[in-house]
Chains A and B, each alone.
Chain A
Amino acid sequence: MNPNINTATATPASFEVDPTLPGVSFFGTVRSELAKLRALRTSWWLSAITVGLGAFIAGAVAFSFRYFMSNDPDITMDALELAVQGQAGGYFAMILIGSLGVVAVTTEYSTGAIRSSLTAVPQRPLLLSAKALALALWTAAVAVALILVSHLLTSLIAEPLGLADIADPEIAGLYLSTFASILLTALLGFALGVLLRSSAGGIVVLAVIMFVFQIVLNILYGVTQGAAWVEILVRVEFMHLVDNLTNPFAGEYGSVPAWEPWQAGIGLVIWVAVPLVVGAISFSRRDS
């Protein structure tokens, strides 16, 4: 017998992947996710509307303030108060960019693209965190643009806010808190998108969190004549915390006691972290 008979039927040498070639990387995945956001028309629309609306509101606020001032010189507002008014566009930014957070995830599910993404990056925690970081970077850029444009318009149109006041610690702090609340809301939207995998569902729940809770709780607060348990709910409600974080005058007009900004900030982080962690766990486990 020919001892080499087996070589004739043996399978060819197995193909080896060159181990020096780069593997999947977090940085590469973030770049990939940023490219997805850039390629999504919704991102551009929502971001453009956010900045445009913010600019419009800041301009309108500043002009009307100037108009009232010229009619009635007794009206006064200091620079910080005016800056707060000028950032009113931040509220719209939250719902718009929050919706972008939802859509950034859910389009992958509605189109099925998630299956391509997961075969390229099957390490799900890595994929999800890269997605979150890409969204955060995009949101940060939009929020900075919104805040700067609003500041620019408000300070150019109305006294006493000046262009250079952006370096004032109180005003800079105000802008930072607006920035943080937009970023946190984007991540809340993202978490809802991961959990619900439906654009409509995610946006509706986000709107409920942002608008409905507040209205319902305020009615309840009135009906129960300020019951203690309702007061607790009112104080931990999402938009109440946002207001306490971003509005230095929140304590002066609120019906319930205001938190310190740092306390409100922690509250908001919890609001975002809980759905994010639950979403991440479910994302890592479920079938796609």
Chain B
Amino acid sequence: MITAENLHKRYGSKTAVDGISFQLPPGKVTGFLGPNGSGKSTTMRMAVGLDRPSSGTITIDGKPFAQHRAPLRTVGAVLDAGATHPGRTGRAHLRVLAATHGISHRRVEQVIELTGLGEAARKRIKGYSLGMNQRLGIAAALLGDPAVLIFDEPVNGLDPEGVRWVRGLAREMAAEGRTVFVSSHLMSEMSQTADHLIVLGRGRIIADAPIHELLETGEHRVLVRTEQVAELANALESSAVSIEHIDAETLQVTGLDPRSIGRRALEIQAVIHELTPQLGTLEDQYMKLTGEHVEYRSGSIPEEVAQ
């Protein structure tokens, strides 16, 4: 259980976290979303006591992290992949951390195995790829078999196999009754991993809801392929629906779910070849939520460059 109460963090005149409160229950994966600079990493650093709140509190099972008798067994955190000494080997790094809690070398070998570090554990960290570093960070987080996991963008730099593995890991850990807190930029990633989402914009919470609720309020977008494009488009026409003609056989319908489209098609006897709900509804929802809270907006690329 992670609890934040009216948490603030200011760096000089810059407010990074602006009075947020939340409670993350065990047994769930909570996703932490927000644009660049919205305060996700700052919140996570405060959770493990690296930064101290300007005001407010963030506690783990009711106590500040530093007051737990076995911190490594309480929280496993992957905050940034570079928090290691490049001259040490991966194994030496893990052993150094393990020694503080009397964790055995056997457990070190287990997490090396578990995270797929394998042979790389013998090598100096300075030779690691981004993905290897990320795996080492996760190995360190798992060392103490902790009750709470805090992952700041864990899939950053991982290959598809690694991404899938982290997703499975997060789900598995939550299923065992642990509290899992994962930040990410990939909405699609969150839609497959998280049970609950907290969306942050400029240091404030702009949504805190189960993921299905956020999805339900999102608009449906469906790709329809049919032989009777014009007829179907006519039949679906209404004020709440917008239809885009993609090509001679394909429509993109926004504002209607696939089931209703299928029924309408049956009514007018239209032949349908494809009816595909479009992914990214969560993404849309997210963009809508954070649109006005974005601090660093990408400029549009000048046309000469884009071509």
Asked if A28 contacts B102 (CB within 8 A), the reply is: yes
Indicate the size class of the contact surface on chain A: 35 or more
A22 close to chain B: CB less than 8 A = yes
Which segment, of A119-127, A189-197, A213-221, A262-270, faces chain B?
A119-127
Given known contacts A14-B27, A23-B101, A25-B100, A119 and B178 CB-to-CB distance under 8 angstroms: no
Task: Give 1 or 0 for each of A18-40: 1 = CB within 8 Å of chain B CB.
Answer: 00011111001101100110011
Instruction: Determine the distance from Cα of A36 to Cα of B85 in the docked complex, in whole angstroms.
Output: 9
Asked if B50 contacts A120 (CB within 8 A), the reply is: no
Asked if A111 contacts B69 (CB within 8 A), the reply is: no
- Chain A 1-52 residues near chain B, CB threshold 8 A: 11-17, 21-25, 28-29, 31-32, 35-36, 39-41
Of the candidates B51, B69, B80, B88, the one whose C-beta lies within 8 Å of that of A39 is B88
Asked if A28 contacts B85 (CB within 8 A), the reply is: no
A225 close to chain B: CB less than 8 A = no
Instruction: Name the residue of chain A whose CB is nearest to the CB of B76.
Output: A119
Interface centre among B82, B83, B87 (most CB of A within 10 A): B83
Asked if A36 contacts B102 (CB within 8 A), the reply is: no
Instruction: Determine the distance from Cα of A36 to Cα of B93 in the docked complex, in whole angstroms.
Output: 9
Q: Which residues of A contact B80 (CB under 8 A)?
A: 112, 115
Asked if B51 contacts A287 (CB within 8 A), the reply is: yes
Instruction: Name the residue of chain A whose CB is nearest to the CB of B48.
Output: A119
A116 close to chain B: CB less than 8 A = yes
CB of A34, distance to nearest CB on chain B (Å): 9
Asked if A116 contacts B93 (CB within 8 A), the reply is: yes
CB of B69, distance to nearest CB on chain A (Å): 4
Q: Which residues of A contact B71 (CB under 8 A)?
A: 23-24, 119-123
Instruction: Name the residue of chain B whose CB is nearest to the CB of A32.
Output: B99
B32 close to chain A: CB less than 8 A = no
Task: Give 1 or 0 for each of B70-99: 1 = CB within 8 Å of chain A CB.
Answer: 111111010110111111100011011101
Instruction: Determine the distance from Cα of A288 to Cα of B178 in the docked complex, in whole angstroms.
Output: 27
Instruction: Name the residue of chain A whose CB is nearest to the CB of B178.
Output: A15
Instruction: Name the residue of chain A whose CB is nearest to the CB of B78.
Output: A119
Instruction: Determine the distance from Cα of A112 to Cα of B27 in the docked complex, in whole angstroms.
Output: 31
Given known contacts A122-B49, A288-B50, A17 and B146 CB-to-CB distance under 8 angstroms: yes
Q: Which residues of B contact A122 (CB under 8 A)?
A: 48-49, 65-66, 71
Given known contacts A16-B147, A120-B71, A112 and B83 CB-to-CB distance under 8 angstroms: yes
Asked if B70 contacts A118 (CB within 8 A), the reply is: no
Indicate the size class of the contact surface on chain B: 35 or more
- CB contacts between A and B, total, < 8 Å: 135
Instruction: Name the residue of chain B whose CB is nearest to the CB of A108.
Output: B85
Q: Which residues of A contact B83 (CB under 8 A)?
A: 112-116
Given known contacts A17-B147, A23-B101, A39 and B85 CB-to-CB distance under 8 angstroms: yes
B26 close to chain A: CB less than 8 A = yes
Asked if B97 contacts A116 (CB within 8 A), the reply is: yes
Interface centre among B28, B49, B65 (most CB of A within 10 A): B49
- Chain A 258-288 residues near chain B, CB threshold 8 A: 285, 287-288
Q: Which residues of A contact B82 (CB under 8 A)?
A: 111-112
B168 close to chain A: CB less than 8 A = no
Q: Which residues of A contact B52 (CB under 8 A)?
A: 285, 287
Asked if A120 contacts B97 (CB within 8 A), the reply is: yes
Given known contacts A24-B70, A39-B88, A113-B85, A14 and B100 CB-to-CB distance under 8 angstroms: no
A107 close to chain B: CB less than 8 A = yes
Asked if B84 contacts A23 (CB within 8 A), the reply is: no
Asked if B70 contacts A17 (CB within 8 A), the reply is: yes
B262 close to chain A: CB less than 8 A = no
CB of B203, distance to nearest CB on chain A (Å): 16
29 contacts between A and B (CB under 8 A): A11-B28, A12-B26, A12-B175, A12-B176, A13-B177, A14-B177, A14-B178, A17-B73, A17-B146, A24-B72, A24-B100, A28-B101, A28-B102, A32-B97, A35-B95, A36-B96, A40-B87, A41-B87, A107-B85, A112-B83, A113-B85, A116-B97, A116-B140, A118-B48, A118-B50, A119-B50, A120-B97, A122-B71, A287-B52
The 9 closest A-B pairs by CB, nearest first: A23-B70, A11-B27, A14-B26, A23-B69, A32-B99, A15-B177, A122-B66, A115-B83, A22-B102
Interface residues of B (CB under 8 A from A): 1, 25-28, 45, 48-52, 65-66, 68-75, 77, 79-80, 82-88, 92-93, 95-97, 99-102, 140, 145-147, 175-179
If A25-B101, A120-B101, A121-B71 are given as contacts, then 16 extra A-B residue pairs at C-beta distance below 8 Å, sorted by A number, are: A11-B26, A12-B176, A16-B177, A17-B145, A17-B146, A22-B101, A24-B101, A28-B102, A29-B99, A32-B97, A39-B87, A114-B83, A117-B97, A119-B72, A120-B72, A123-B71
